[in-house]
Amino acid sequence: MVPSENSSVPFSASAAVRAEAARAVARVMAGRTLDDALAACSTGALTTQNRSLLQAMVYGVVREHTLLSALAAKLLDKPLEKQPDVQALLLCGLHQLRSMRMPAHAAVAETVNAVALLGAHWGRGMVNAVLRRYQRERRELEDALPTDPVVRQSHPAWLVDAIRRDWPRVWKKVLLENNEQAPLTLRVNRRRRPATAYLQQALGGAGLRGHVVADAPDAIALDEAVPVNELPGFADGQVSVQDASAQFAVELLQLTPGLRVLDACAAPGGKTAHILERVDCEVTALDVDPLRLKRVEDNLARLQLKAIVKQGDARDPKAWWDEKPFDRILVDAPCSGTGVIRRHPDIKFLRRREDIPRMAHTQRDMLHALWPLLAPGGVLVYAVCSVFSAEGVDVVSRFLQDEPGARERPIDADWGEALAHGRRLAPGGDFDGFFYARLEKRT
């Protein structure tokens, strides 16, 4: 039992889960990332199962936030703008009734109990009445919602417009896929064993099921997500978590032993590690953030791999470069993250229209700054987990116009679709949204 902060009456852990979920949702809508919002939750007294429930609830409410808010507006006599935690708790209750597999009576009762844990005893009757009315009038209330995708798919209007412009044939599918839960995808360390062997032997032996991802030979998508510490061989470096789309980078670099490689935006280290799992070469892992570089070092240590780890800004090579050219450069540039919304639904509400041109400017600056570091005949791979042309094909097109010594080496692949320059993937199924281009320096 978890004691109330405002009463001597004990409350169940189930009520505590809902109260913490409400606080986390309110933090996200106030501008914090979902990861930060969850990290701030008090979970010490919760079981592993209840922590999983908390995370699932918060992710679900953030995914459907606009739609849930529209339903709440129809059910409330007046808005709860000055009570963001209570508003968020009400959305948690609606989400449980709409989308989560749990008995309706438990969802309602424990959500009502959570009101007191938020210090809002006055709201118990209101929350109870709203949730029970939704149960009675669910069909009529859902049918009365606007058909606008801003509401139905819970995307801000500017984001809907931008996706419709850049994906005119499949924009509705992109919006729908953004609200689906992405699979847990693994990268198998082929220095230890092939992906097929890990799938059959390690996962099969642990009672876990999945499949090797088409076109990504080291990738396995699990049928059901599990905590990483339950993955066979994770602790000793047999496997890592990395989306299949991100694993295409190592193929595009066309690595051979002995090359000197720069991973220019390396944290948290997935692509650096994948390079070293494939080929014996000298890799410099660069990142501007020292805290994120610690994650690179931790991942390399777990995988028993070695790289040169440097802190530095990719836009200012003179501060960290040793003036020896690189044979390969990977620029997995900072971007809007709009290709990974299904993994980070808070991006829908934290990103702004004006962020996109600012990020495109940074991406172009990185390319121009790093290009002189590439050896003649060398290859640079540009990647962003964005669905926007402004951060993908447009950046590369302008760079090719500005750099006469650069030429595109086309990507001949079965995945995604070819653009005027580069290749892109829409989010969905086994893949996050991504853009890649491969450039070569003329000799």
Q: Could you tell me the two tokens for 148?
A: 């606008």
Catalytic pick among 41, 92, 281, 385: 385
CB atoms within 10 A of CB 113: 21
Rounded CA-CA distance 20/82 in Å is: 18
Return the bridge partners of 261, or none.
283, 328
- Count how many Cα atoms sit within 13 Å of the Cα of residue 16 in the half-sphere of its side chain: 19
Annotation marks residue 385 as catalytic: yes
196 contacts 151 by C-beta, under 8 angstroms: no
Contact criterion met (CB below 8 Å) for 398 and 348: no
CA distance 397 to 169: 22
Own/partner pairs, 117-123, CB within 8 angstroms, 24+ separation? 117/2, 117/4, 117/5, 117/6, 117/11, 117/15, 117/16, 117/19, 118/19, 118/22, 118/23, 118/85, 118/86, 118/89, 119/5, 119/6, 120/83, 120/85, 120/86, 121/6, 123/83, 123/86
Token pair of 333 as six digits: 């540039």
**Contact present, 41 and 24 (Cβ < 8 Å):** yes
Three-state secondary structure readout of 75-102: HCCCCCCCCHHHHHHHHHHHHHHHHCCC
Q: Are 382 and 395 in contact (CB under 8 A)?
A: yes
Q: Measured between alpha carbons, how far is 13 from 61 in angstroms, rounded to an integer?
A: 19
User: Cα 121 vs. chain centroid, distance in angstroms?
Assistant: 36
Active site residues per annotation: 385
